[in-house]
Amino acid sequence: MSDTVVVGLDVGGTSTRAVAVTLAGERLGTGRGGGGNPTSHGAERAAAELLTALRGALHGVDPTRVRAGIIGLAGAGRLLADPHGRAAFDRAWSQAGLRCPYAVHGDALVGYASGTAAPDGTVLIAGTGAIAAQVRDLRLDRTADGHGWLLGDTGSGFWLGREAVRRLLAALDAGADPGPLGRRVLTELLGSAEVAARPRDTADALVQAVTRRPPVELARLAPLVVAGAVDGEPVATGLIGEAAASLVESAARIRPAGATSPVVLGGGLLTGDTPLAAAVRAETARRWPDAAVRSAGDGAAGAAWLAARDLPEVTDPVALHALLVPEAA
């Protein structure tokens, strides 16, 4: 049984990560490629990054030992619906020497599996965007938000960045002091925290600086809000509180009141010891007091576990989870 290898991949917008692991939990290799989201990068390029990551993970591993693989990626449904994209992924898979089948799942499911082995639960992800999903029998069931920056992604990094600029514009309109967070935003966007003699000129310059770039780049201001909240800055603290409430509200659209299944928090804004993660944990505990709240871990490891658990020799998938995704234990 320890001869059997499974492969897990987590394909994200900025990097692609792969792991090859035995059913005994021995990590044989890890690999990394560039951003491989087929929606934003095109299926060919995504498949090329996939191959790079796979080759890294399989270096020195006999690929015929690999019995199963799972690829987690955002927009999995769109890839599966596109014969051209699916063919590109098939080619990369066989170019890596793999002969076993593989399956593609949403990145939300892989994130969930990196945090818990429970078959049912909820995953809440906040990075540049934001989405909540209900997991049933380790399949994505209903989702909430994830509607993109124009119409959704409430509480996401984009949302935090946009709201930080909006609060600053309101302060400039009112002729008020921009405050510590406002000064950080001014410095980031205009290179100086100074406000013009006519504050409207500064406001107009801010609007121009933002509209020169793709809107989604407002997400790069989110770390300023997080840092401000760590320092106790009141505007930043308020925004973090609003974001947490919105994120949990999205989860509540799909997660029943009184649910006791685990909640897994994922994405750059909710993993690690951030004030947003703390606020979401507190709000989740208030709404669902009997639920465990977990952090998503290594998505590639979660994918590897999802691949392994359907193999006939696996009789205790929960014990296997502890071996393959040790940080979630």
Does 148 help bind a second copy (rule: CB under 8 A)? Answer: yes
Does 167 help bind a second copy (rule: CB under 8 A)? Answer: no
Q: How far apart are CA 260 and CA 264, in angstroms?
A: 12
Q: How far apart are CA 212 and CA 226, in angstroms?
A: 24
Does 177 help bind a second copy (rule: CB under 8 A)? Answer: no
Q: Where are the beta strands (DSSP E) in the chain?
A: 5-11, 15-22, 27-34, 66-73, 102-106, 121-126, 130-136, 139-145, 263-266, 293-295
Q: Which helix (H) or strand (E) holds 107?
A: helix 107-113
What amino acid is encoded at 23 in this protein? L
Total of chain residues touching a second copy, rule CB under 8 A: 27
Q: Which of residues 183-242 bind a second copy (CB under 8 A)?
A: 200, 203, 206-207, 210-211, 215
What is the per-residue binding string for a second copy in 241-280, x denoting contact by CB under 8 A? ---------x--xx--------------------------
CB 172 within 8 Å of CB 203? yes
Q: 59 or 213, CB closer to a second copy?
A: 213
* 3-class secondary-structure state, position 41: helix
Does 107 help bind a second copy (rule: CB under 8 A)? Answer: no
Does 80 help bind a second copy (rule: CB under 8 A)? Answer: no
Q: In the numeric block, which tokens belong to residue 1?
A: 């049984």
Q: Which of 21, 98, 113, 144 binds a second copy (CB under 8 A)?
A: 144
Q: How far apart are CA 282 and CA 264, in angstroms?
A: 14
Choose the binding region for a second copy from 34-42, 86-94, 171-179, 258-266 (rule: CB under 8 A): 171-179
Q: In the numeric block, which tokens belong to residue 114?
A: 């990196």
Does 73 help bind a second copy (rule: CB under 8 A)? Answer: no
Q: What angle do CA 114, 117, 120 make, to 5 degrees?
A: 105
Q: 197 or 329, CB closer to a second copy?
A: 197
Does 139 help bind a second copy (rule: CB under 8 A)? Answer: no
Does 142 help bind a second copy (rule: CB under 8 A)? Answer: yes
Give the footprint of a second copy on this chain (CB under 8 A): 142-145, 147-148, 150-152, 162, 165-166, 169-170, 173-175, 200, 203, 206-207, 210-211, 215, 250, 253-254
